[in-house]
Structure 1
Amino acid sequence: MVLQPTWLVVLSWAVLIVGFASTVVIVADHLVFRYRQPVKVMEIVWPATALYFGPAAVLAYRQWGRPQSPRWLKRHRTPPRRPRHAAGIIETLHCATHCVLGAIIATVFVFGLSFEIFDKRLWPEFIGDYVAAVVVGVAFRYSTEADTGGRRAWAATRRFLRGDLLSVSVFEFALLGWLALMEFMVFHETLQPSSPVFWLIVQIGLIIGFFAAWPPTLWLIRRGAKAELLGTPQ
């Protein structure tokens, strides 16, 4: 196993700590200070975003997320006007959360159960990431569907396929391409989740995935596939 430079390990720990601290700040704002989100899945989206965007996610939440809460609106009456690009960013973050949770779930299963394909854990990680991201995406859509009886699951799946699958697929392609590049060209080994460097690489990949998924998300919004923007003002 190749030893990782001390400076890289220290940097990785620092970035991880900042990400977790940022997540705690947002969760505390929801649960302790009671700035609850009107769309409940956004109480997952904002903390998940902080895991890889850190303080930038906290800033975006303070500007665009907290003003949507009933507590904030009770004190200020109307939310502040947001720039036009805010809706696209929020929808991209929403789709990105599918991939964030999918990556965490897949990592736990693949490395915990030591799955390998062609003596590599990278390939089952790829498959697991994508499948888990799709399942999480459908579950998110299911949670926001009105109760339509037996048609609710199908309606959620259809909405995901129409409005989220493209963004999720582009995000995953960028994320997994980055992970493959790091493993085959830089580290020449399988990084383990027990290493902070592994999670730093994942965090960078999530940021790359976000910027890759942003243009197709905007395209989907323009063509009306994502007309109902989660967590945005009406």
Structure 2
Amino acid sequence: MEPHYHPPDWLEAIGWFSLSVAFACALVILIDVFPHGYRQKMWIMNLVYPITALYWGPAALWFYFRHGRRTSRPVIDREGGMPDPDRFSGWNVQSKAVSHCGAGCTLGDIGAEWLAFALALTIAGKALFADFALDLTLAWVLGIVFQYFTIAPMREIGRAQGVWAAVKADTLSILAFQLGLFPGMWVYQELIFSPGLPKTTATYWMMMQLAMILGFFTAMPVNAWLVRISWKEKM
């Protein structure tokens, strides 16, 4: 078993606060979507918004109520149609585009990290390298699933065409997201908290939140290009 850095109590308290706020934000969005009835016209966004809140926290909550709720069915019915995506700012469109692969990455990373932990997996003697391999694999698969349920309904295309379009749209996006996530993980596991935080600590997952935010930003230029060449839809 690899040695670990055990964070002090004050840092763990901050970690638990960060996670609690993020989960509370995700819960608020879920309550607004389901019990309150503000379901998105594109159903996959009912999942994307709360999952995004797991790492963006209050920023995701603000974005949902400021922008995301406008594409819910009750608001569309009240305002007489979907808002025109061409009127949205570039960062708005790019943020929604990144949120799809980000949601896949979030679920993939959570599943992969705990799977690697449960099986005590290592590559070249390092648990971190096994984390990278599993994170990328599950994030890619789930990212394509999320993207498929965006592209296929909007383009009204068949299953095979939809899967291929999702693979084209999300592969580069996922790689760009990991380009920020993986170095962030390496920094906090190998440099800041060497020889590495245990995954059973709140501090580990708080640092993962920060690494995923970094991945969100590294994925934005690629997503802007994917939208521009119409490999991704302008939402």
Task: Give runs of ≥4 in structure 1 deviating > 4 Å.
Answer: 78-81
Matching of residue 204 in structure 1 with residue 210 in structure 2: yes
Q: Tell me how far apart the structure 2 counterparts of residues 9 and 155 of structure 1 sit (CA, whole Å).
A: 47
The Cα offsets for residues 174-210 of structure 1, whole Å up to 9 and x where unpaired, read as: 1011111111111112322210001011000010000
In structure 2, the residue matched to 1:46 is 49
Residues 219 and 147 of structure 1, relative CA distance in 2, 3 Å threshold: closer
In structure 1, the residue matched to 2:224 is 218
Mean Cα deviation higher: 43-52 or 155-164:
155-164
Residues 213 and 5 of structure 1, relative CA distance in 2, 3 Å threshold: same
Q: Tell me how far apart the structure 1 counterparts of residues 207 and 65 of structure 2 sit (CA, whole Å).
A: 27
Residues 108 and 155 of structure 1, relative CA distance in 2, 3 Å threshold: farther
Q: Tell me how far apart the structure 1 counterparts of residues 79 and 13 of structure 2 sit (CA, whole Å).
A: 43
Please state how far the C-alpha of 1:57 moved relative to its aligned partner: 0.5
- Match for 2:132 among 126, 136, 144? 126
TM-score by length of 2: 0.89
TM-score by length of 1: 0.89
Please state how far the C-alpha of 1:112 moved relative to its aligned partner: 1.5
Task: Report how many aligned residue pairs link the two structures.
Answer: 225
Q: Tell me how far apart the structure 2 counterparts of residues 111 and 175 of structure 1 sit (CA, whole Å).
A: 18
In structure 1, the residue matched to 2:186 is 180
Q: Does the CA-based 8 Å contact 2:5-2:196 persist in structure 1? A: no
Q: Does the CA-based 8 Å contact 1:64-1:82 persist in structure 2? A: no
Gaps of 5+ in 1: none
Identity of aligned residues (%): 32
In structure 2, the residue matched to 1:20 is 23
For 1:47, the aligned partner's letter is P
The RMSD of aligned alpha carbons is 1.8
Q: Does the CA-based 8 Å contact 1:174-1:209 persist in structure 2? A: yes
Q: Tell me how far apart the structure 2 counterparts of residues 19 and 77 of structure 1 sit (CA, whole Å).
A: 33
Matching of residue 106 in structure 1 with residue 112 in structure 2: yes
